[in-house]
Chain A
Amino acid sequence: DTAVSQTPKYLVTQMGNDKSIKCEQNLGHDTMYWYKQDSKKFLKIMFSYNNKELIINETVPNRFSPKSPDKAHLNLHINSLELGDSAVYFCASSQDRGGRSPLHFGNGTRLTVT
């Protein structure tokens, strides 16, 4: 059973389109995250939700909108996709909200914008 699952695994789309990535965790964790990993492998935090409440919103363009319908789900919607949005997007969860416990990552969604 996959602890943190995200879909789709691959997403290829054209500039200007809108797309969504979904994430679900069955670990009973209260906190979920979106991280972006660029082509140089750098992992950068984008958003964090704790029990459906947004607690971290890094300097991400407002074309990116996270949504957490419940504490087990965190989705990411991206409007007006740009070439620079191409990256691997990882969902993750942790037991606490303070960055003081391990992150459990999903398998990633490779987004390619053409």
Chain B
Amino acid sequence: GENVEQHPSTLSVQEGDSAVIKCTYSDSASNYFPWYKQELGKRPQLIIDIRSNVGEKKDQRIAVTLNKTAKHFSLHITETQPEDSAVYFCAASVGGFKTIFGAGTRLFVKA
């Protein structure tokens, strides 16, 4: 079936700490895994993505890892800042023609 599970649903960290969000997917043919950030009242925006031929990708304080065997992928945010507070969605390409989203993680960064 088509399923992307995301954990945790809520994450609260102290400013400067790291945050990790984990996702699993069910379609073994999935080959594209984007992450989106949605601030309150705004649209989801891509922050980083990874393809199945890569195990890890980094962009400044954000990194994503992919374990194809286990069908896991994770988002890591280091040195969190209050402006990182938002809802984060993982997603996966499914069936070769659409993007399915996880349920979202609400991240709170306390100053």
Name A residues whose Cβ lies closer than 8 Å to a Cβ of B. 40-45, 48, 55-56, 90, 94, 97-108
Known pairs A99-B32, A102-B49, A105-B43; A45 contacts B97 (CB<8 A): no
Task: Give how many B residues have a beta carbon under 8 Å from the other chain's beta carbons.
Answer: 26
Q: Which residue of B is nearest A31, CB measured?
A: B97
- Chain A contacts for B96, CB-based, 8 A: 98-99
Inter-chain pairs besides A44-B101, A100-B32, 15 sampled, C-beta below 8 Å: A41-B38, A43-B89, A43-B101, A45-B100, A48-B98, A56-B97, A98-B93, A99-B32, A99-B94, A99-B96, A99-B98, A100-B51, A103-B34, A103-B36, A103-B99
| B91, chain A: closest CB distance, angstroms | 8
Most buried by A among B34, B87, B94, B99: B99
Q: List 15 A-B contacts (CB under 8 A).
A: A42-B103, A45-B100, A56-B97, A98-B96, A99-B32, A99-B96, A100-B32, A100-B51, A100-B93, A101-B32, A103-B36, A103-B44, A103-B99, A105-B43, A105-B45
Contact A90 B87 (CB under 8 A): no
A99-B44 CB under 8 A given contacts A41-B87, A56-B98: no
Q: Which of A48, A100, A105 contacts B44 (CB 8 A)?
A: A105
Nearest Cβ in chain B — how far from A42, in angstroms?
Answer: 6
Enumerate chain A residues within 8 angstroms of B87, measured Cβ to Cβ: 41
B46 at the interface (CB under 8 A from A): yes
**Considering the chains assembled together, what is the distance between the CA atoms of A28 and B89 in angstroms?**
25
User: Known contacts being A41-B87, A41-B104, A43-B89, is A102 close to B46, with CB within 8 Å?
Assistant: yes
Q: Are A99 and B93 in contact (CB-based, < 8 A)?
A: yes
Is chain A's binding surface mostly helix, strand, loop or mixed? loop
Query: By DSSP majority rule, is chain B's interface helix, strand, loop, or mixed?
Result: strand
> In the assembled complex, how far is the CB of residue B28 from the closest CB belonging to chain A, in whole angstroms?
15
Taking a contact as CB atoms under 8 Å apart, the answer to whether B98 and A100 are in contact is no
CB distance from A31 to the nearest CB of B (A): 9
Q: Which of B44-94 contact A (CB under 8 A)?
A: 44-46, 49, 51, 87, 89, 93-94
Which residues in B have their C-beta under 8 angstroms from that of A108? 43
Docked-complex contact A45 and B99, CB < 8 angstroms = yes
